[in-house]
Structure 1
Amino acid sequence: MKHLYSLRPRAHRYYRYTSFWVIFFGLTLPLAFAHPAFAQESPSVALVKPAGVDTNAISIGGTVIPYRSVTVAAQRAGRITALYARTGMMLQFNQPVAALDDDVLRQQIDGIKAELKAAQSDLDYAIFSMPGMDSAGGMMGAMMGAMFGAPGGSGVDAWLARVNRINQARARIDQLKAQERALQAQVGYGAVTAPMDGIVTRRLVEAGEIVQAGQPLIEMAYVSRLRAQFDIPVDLAQGVAPGRPFTLKTSDGRLIPVSVGEVAPGVDPRTHTQQVKVDLPPQSGLRLGDYVELLLARAGAASTGSVVIPAAALLRGSALPMVQVVTGDGTFKIMIVRVAERLPDGQLLISAGLSAGDVVKVQP
């Protein structure tokens, strides 16, 4: 019995050491065999995708512009007493934009009114100072007396001189009234208003500045409708006409259908490009100044049947462009393809040899 008790601690130590090694190998062996040195490498594959409109087209960069833009200028000289428009402010038609001082014009109008009173007084004197104007015969009696009352025609001369004086006084009055109307119009030009509904894109002056007639004050844009402007090379602009539909690509990858709204009649002799403006649909989500691309048909690229694959799918070292296509039983077969173009995003545009839905091996 004593010998049996002496063996119990030894058996306990043996069990403890055995358990330790079982747990150790149970945890480390799976990790060891998971190492790439022990694991069989599985090939990377990629799905052959159909070429979208952006891969079968040439992109021409452009900018979103307002449908219409105007420059609001001062119609007369003066000092800006108030400037109501601010950059980014929406204005309604005929809404006040700025106000110019009219102190000098008001003084000139007061001077014209004083001259009118003097001219009217001269006219009244010329009329009522003629002989016989205060008698019952009136003007006819004065005229007859002037013509036949004195020999030698001196009465006729005096009468004609007075008639001429009356006509001159009336002409002077008409002239002064015309000057007053012109000055009143100049006063009205001091109230600058918006010529259309739109947003203020630039403010070119500040309150307190002295401006001249024709000097720009603000720039406005009609943004209820937008356009995009492009400078297209001459060889690509052939066939571009108002009303023709195209596809627009935004900076975030959205494709928007558009139509040509305006085509410049001539070609820029420096850049050999033609300016084209396309009309954007409402609710396009674009803003003034956004960068967009107009997708034009690519010469020589198939409009249908083209696909895209990663550039790494091509077999290296082969004389012809070839790829490995995954078959139904999981093996690979080599296919010769026709590469139409290398795209900027690292993809290849394939015009023959593959179909959309095929799976190709991507070379490591």
Structure 2
Amino acid sequence: MDSKKSVFIGFVGVVLGIGLPAVGQSADIIPVEVSKTQSQSVLGSTVVPYKEVTLTAQIPGIVKRVAGGVGSSFAAGNTLVQIDDSQLQAKRNAVAAQIGTAQSGVTNAQAQYNREQISPRSKDIGAMPGFGMPAIFDRLGTRQFAETFMGGYDEQTIRQADLENSRSAVLQAQGGLQQANAQLQELDSAISNATSTAPFEGMILSKQVEVGDTVQPGQPLLTYGYVKNKRLESDVPSGLVAGLKVGMVVEARINNSLNTTAKIAEIYPLADPTRHTVTVKFDLPVGIEATPGNYAEVHLPEGQSGTSIFIPKTALFKGGTLPSVLVVKDGKSELRMVRLGTDQSGEKLEVVSGLDANEHIINDPPVGVVSGWIPPAK
């Protein structure tokens, strides 16, 4: 009767797969794989455009035009924001009229100066010292009499004074013209500042104004960036920066799904005094599918080396809810839960904890085996 029960239980065990290996399984005992690794830190970062600028208002006024919305692309030199400049244009027209008047004044003053050099007023026969005599007598006798006997009349001194007066009038007219030209240049600069243009090829990343808004100098208008190439920006603890250098290539992961590499492009020379971190920028490969603002992670070396344990994926115990392996000890196996790390090329798994470097495990254990099971000798 006992022998029949044993046969029946064995038959049920084979059918249900409890405590017995499945037919055709090639389980064997293997040592865990140990390799030297560089200790790394994983830091959060953000995808940013390769270049980014914030355009601000340079003059007060009302926004007359915004070229596009967020995501709109433009070539270098295209108009992005236009502020109403009608008042500036009116002032410019007034200054242009002043320039015409000033140019006419310069021409007249220069003509008077040339006349004084060629035909001095001091020798004009109509400009007598004043005795009411005919001009010919005044010319031949009265002036000489005044210079010799009466004094107070020096023809040379009067001529020099007339020349200086004419020269002064020319300089004043030229100064008025220069002042009007300077006002025109100032207005032209202000009119130019009413238009914000794209400094390079790129796209609008954010808008801070709409058509009809009143803006003041210094007020942000929009954020513009070059997004064909992208970067990662991360705040790195000061202790890790010493092991970094420009040009170093590190591993990166974008949105927890895209594995790639990133090259260190810039390390800020100063640390944040509050958080004690240094901003580091990493160049992403050209054409990488990432959107500015996405979350990313970078793997940075800590400068310390250690050892890591790896096992094949086939060594994981089948049917369990938590990752575990069968560890061989003293001729028997025991089920042990492990904590896994990175996936190595889809074939091996890193074991963070749960195994020691000198232990052996059962690879490819059959479904349904329990602790204590050992693969049969081959």
**Runs of 5+ consecutive residues of structure 2 not aligned to the other structure:** 1-10, 125-138, 144-152, 344-349, 373-378
Q: Is the 8 A contact 1:78 1:101 kept in 2?
A: yes
Q: Is the 8 A contact 1:48 1:356 kept in 2?
A: yes
What is the match of residue 202 of structure 1?
Answer: 206
* One of 67, 72, 83 as aligned partner of 2:66: 83
The question of 1:73 aligning with 2:73 is answered no
Letter in 2 for 1:353: N
Letter in 1 for 2:283: D
**How many Å separate the matches in 2 of 1:259 and 1:353?**
37
Q: Is the 8 A contact 1:262 1:278 kept in 2?
A: yes
Highest RCO, 1 vs 2 (Cα 8 Å, sep ≥ 6): 2
What is the match of residue 247 of structure 1?
Answer: 251
Deviation at 1:84, TM superposition (A): 0.8
**How many Å separate the matches in 2 of 1:221 and 1:363?**
60
The percent identity for this pair of structures is 22
What is the match of residue 324 of structure 2?
Answer: 313
What is the match of residue 318 of structure 1?
Answer: none
What is the match of residue 100 of structure 2?
Answer: 117
Relative to structure 1, the CA distance from residue 54 to residue 209 in structure 2 (aligned partners, 3 Å threshold; closer, same or farther) is farther
* One of 306, 316, 330 as aligned partner of 1:301: 306
Corresponding residue SS for 1:285: coil
* One of 317, 327, 330 as aligned partner of 1:324: 327
Aligned 1:267-286 pairs, distance under 5 A:
267-286=271-290
**How many Å separate the matches in 2 of 1:127 and 1:231?**
68
Letter in 2 for 1:352: A
Q: Is the 8 A contact 1:80 1:99 kept in 2?
A: yes
User: What's the TM-score once normalised by structure 2's chain length?
Assistant: 0.67
Greater alpha carbon shift after TM alignment, 294-303 vs 63-72: 294-303
What is the match of residue 214 of structure 1?
Answer: 218
Corresponding residue SS for 2:250: strand
What is the match of residue 86 of structure 2?
Answer: 103
Relative to structure 1, the CA distance from residue 236 to residue 342 in structure 2 (aligned partners, 3 Å threshold; closer, same or farther) is farther
Q: Is the 8 A contact 2:95 2:184 kept in 1?
A: yes
What is the match of residue 352 of structure 1?
Answer: 357
* One of 37, 40, 43 as aligned partner of 2:18: 40
The question of 1:179 aligning with 2:189 is answered no
Q: Is the 8 A contact 2:14 2:20 kept in 1?
A: no
Give deviations 1:199-232, integer Å, cap 9, x for gaps. 1111111111222233221101111111112222
**How many Å separate the matches in 1 of 2:17 and 2:336?**
31
**How many Å separate the matches in 1 of 2:13 and 2:271?**
65
What is the match of residue 11 of structure 1?
Answer: none
What is the match of residue 10 of structure 1?
Answer: none
* One of 186, 190, 194 as aligned partner of 1:190: 194
Q: Is the 8 A contact 2:39 2:305 kept in 1?
A: no
Q: Is the 8 A contact 2:109 2:166 kept in 1?
A: yes
**Runs of 5+ consecutive residues of structure 1 not aligned to the other structure:** 1-32, 315-322
How many equivalent pairs are there?
313
Greater alpha carbon shift after TM alignment, 33-42 vs 283-292: 33-42
Letter in 2 for 1:165: A
What is the match of residue 162 of structure 1?
Answer: 166
Query: C-alpha root-mean-square deviation of aligned residues, in Å?
Result: 4.4
**How many Å separate the matches in 2 of 1:74 and 1:242?**
36
Relative to structure 1, the CA distance from residue 96 to residue 42 in structure 2 (aligned partners, 3 Å threshold; closer, same or farther) is farther
What is the match of residue 262 of structure 1?
Answer: 266
Deviation at 1:240, TM superposition (A): 1.0
Relative to structure 1, the CA distance from residue 276 to residue 362 in structure 2 (aligned partners, 3 Å threshold; closer, same or farther) is farther
Q: Is the 8 A contact 1:264 1:276 kept in 2?
A: yes
Greater alpha carbon shift after TM alignment, 35-44 vs 80-89: 35-44
User: What's the TM-score once normalised by structure 1's chain length?
Assistant: 0.69
Greater alpha carbon shift after TM alignment, 243-252 vs 221-230: 243-252
